[in-house]
Amino acid sequence: MKPTNEPIAVSDLARQIQTRVDSTPILDIHTHLYDPAFRELLLWGIDDLLTYHYLVAEAFRYLEMPYEKFWGLSKSSQADLIWEALFLEHSPVSEACRGVLTTLQLLGLDPKKRDLPAIRRWFASQKVEDHINRCFELAGLSKVFMTNSPFDDVERAVWDKAFIRDPRFEAGLRIDPLLLSWPTAAECLLKWGYAVQPEPNAKTFDEVRRFLADWSTRIEAKYLMVSLGPDFSFPDQSVTTKVIEHSVLPHCREQGLPLALMPGVRRAVNPQLRLAGDGVGLADLSGLQNLCSGYPDVKFMATILARENQHDACVLARKCRNLHIFGCWWFTNVPSLVQEITRMRLELIGLSFTPQHSDARILDQVVYKWRHFRSVLTTALVQQYTQLAETGWQVTQAELDRDIRDLFGGAFTRFAGP
């Protein structure tokens, strides 16, 4: 539909919003997907879909077997157990379960047949390149951001070799170990040729900066990111504060790269669940506030895990224009909370945020994550623009287009860009 400067009639608002939300391409600013050059790191297919850690956690609500026995099984046997427990022995009503079914349906597979072997056969006959195209198309994606960690040995080995980048996969530099696992991270840097000390001094901070500069350039990172516990504080006496202050912030300032903070995750609440064992905690956002107000020349992004933190994060964004709020992350990515959080954000900070990222770990997930989000966003926007129309204000098609493009990556690109 070609946008015009014609005002949209109230009676036509819902249709116009839906059409645009459904057809506007999305820039997915945080995923765990990889450029196909990373080969087995790019997960896709039914067994990876079923063994997604969100579903592992849910399956263990019903499974009685010892955790270790489960982890000793092959991926397809784990997938069989999860299918059995979550789809056949109970109705798959959770968001993560419904997601698998939405994905299958949109890929043209019939979920009601409940035929896991046939689904496996279908996936086995797909070529990864075609499947990427198909998933991007069904999700309506323009590009996705990867989460790139130099501390991951498998991933680093790929960056160490030259390869041709797929332009649909942008890079984000993940630095959790650097901030949360010092001095283990220092040992790695030393091994890679950076003259750092376990007790950081000025030379160490410079070397960490050199490391960040090398990797930002090498992967063409568009932002840096770190996930943090609910107890993250800044400033304090910790090494984390020192590395942020003397290495990360100067690097971000110099290169104009945002630092994305993801507070609220309690890692390994149940270590036996492995990747599925992390939980959530209410975060004290004063560390984020001190960063944003203490460093107005550095750009920050934030997505916060606890539902109870969403309001304070939004209020903080009203005070700090160098803060870009994004996504309904992980446990908040369920339609009822996405609806609530998105409406609150629209009401408090207008269109100056990125309402969602997929966090997809398996390629096929972008299909459901974005389909489900587009539907929730349509409802939220219809409510918002209908209320707006009640004031007598009329929005044009071109304006609606602009607004939705901003929510789907435009606002982020303007914020993060040079």
Q: How many residues bind Zn ion (CB under 5 A)?
A: 1
28 binds Zn ion (CB under 5 A): no
List, in sequence order, every residue forming a beta bridge with 145; answer none if it has no partner: 170
Report the partner that residue 151 touches, choosing among Zn ion, ligand RAT, none (CB closer than 5 to 8 A by kind): none
Query: 317 vs 360, which CB is nearer to ligand RAT?
Result: 360
Only one residue has tokens 């249709």, namely 15
State the minimum distance, in angstroms, from the CB of residue 330 to ligand RAT.
Answer: 4
The backbone torsions φ and ψ at residue 220, rounded to the nearest 5 degrees and listed phi first, read: 55, 50
Cis preceding linkage at 235, omega within 30 = yes
Is residue 278 within the footprint of Zn ion (CB under 5 A)?
no
Name the residue nearer to ligand RAT (CB basis): 67 or 330: 330
**8 Å CB contact between 79 and 50:** yes
Distance of closest approach, residue 114 Cβ to ligand RAT, in angstroms: 27
Q: How far is the CB of 66 from ligand RAT (least distance, A)?
A: 23
The number of beta carbons lying within 10 Å of the beta carbon of residue 186 is: 23
Of 177 and 200, nearer to ligand RAT (C-beta) is 177
- Cβ closer to ligand RAT: 32 or 405? 32
CB of 330 to Zn ion, least distance (A): 7
Nearer to ligand RAT, 148 or 247 (CB): 148
Beta carbons within 8 Å of 272's beta carbon, 6+ residues apart? 67, 68
Q: Give the interface with ligand RAT as residue ranges (CB under 6 A).
A: 32, 227, 330, 359, 361
What does 330 interact with, of Zn ion, ligand RAT, none (CB < 5 to 8 A by kind)? ligand RAT
Distance in Å, CB of 56 to ligand RAT, minimum: 11
Q: Which C-beta is closer to ligand RAT: that of 16 or that of 227?
A: 227
- Shortest Å distance, C-beta 310 to ligand RAT: 16
- C-alpha to C-alpha distance for 251 and 212, rounded to whole angstroms: 7
374 close to 22: Cβ distance less than 8 angstroms: yes
Nearest-approach distance from CB 360 to ligand RAT, in angstroms: 8
> Closer to ligand RAT at the Cβ: 3 or 279?
279
The partner in contact with residue 227, picked from Zn ion, ligand RAT, none with C-beta cut-offs of 5 to 8 angstroms by kind, is: ligand RAT
If 0-12 CB within 10 Å is exposed, 13-18 middle and 19+ buried, where does residue 40 land?
exposed
Nearest CA-CA partner of 106 in 408, 335, 361, 371: 371
Q: What is the H or E stretch that residue 16 is in? A: helix 13-23
Q: Judged by CB, which is closer to ligand RAT: 24, or 332?
A: 332
Q: Which residue is nearest to Zn ion (CB)?
A: 359
Nearest to 300 by CA among 359, 241, 258: 258
Q: Which residue in 248, 272, 267, 269 sits closest to 259, CA to CA?
A: 248
Residue 305 CB, nearest approach to ligand RAT (Å): 9
As a whole number of angstroms, the distance between CA 60 and CA 74 comes to 17
Taking phi over 0 as left and psi of -120 to 50 as alpha, with beta for the rest, 206 belongs to: alpha
Query: What is the edge-to-edge ordering of all strands in the sheet holding 300-302?
Result: 26-28, 141-145, 169-174, 221-228, 259-263, 300-302, 323-325
Query: Residue 265's beta-bridge partner residues?
Result: 280
| Residue 384 touches which of ligand RAT, Zn ion, none (Cβ within 5-8 Å per kind) | none
> Between 30 and 209, whose beta carbon lies closer to ligand RAT?
30
Taking the CB of residue 358, how many other CB atoms lie within 10 A of it?
A: 26
Q: Which is nearer to ligand RAT, 94 or 396 (CB)?
A: 94
Least distance to ligand RAT from the beta carbon of 212, Å?
Answer: 19
Q: Which of residues 341-360 bind Zn ion (CB under 5 A)?
A: 359
Quickly count: other Cβ atoms within 10 Å of residue 376's Cβ: 23
Smallest separation (angstroms) from ligand RAT to the CB of 176: 8
Q: Which residues bind Zn ion (CB under 5 A)?
A: 359
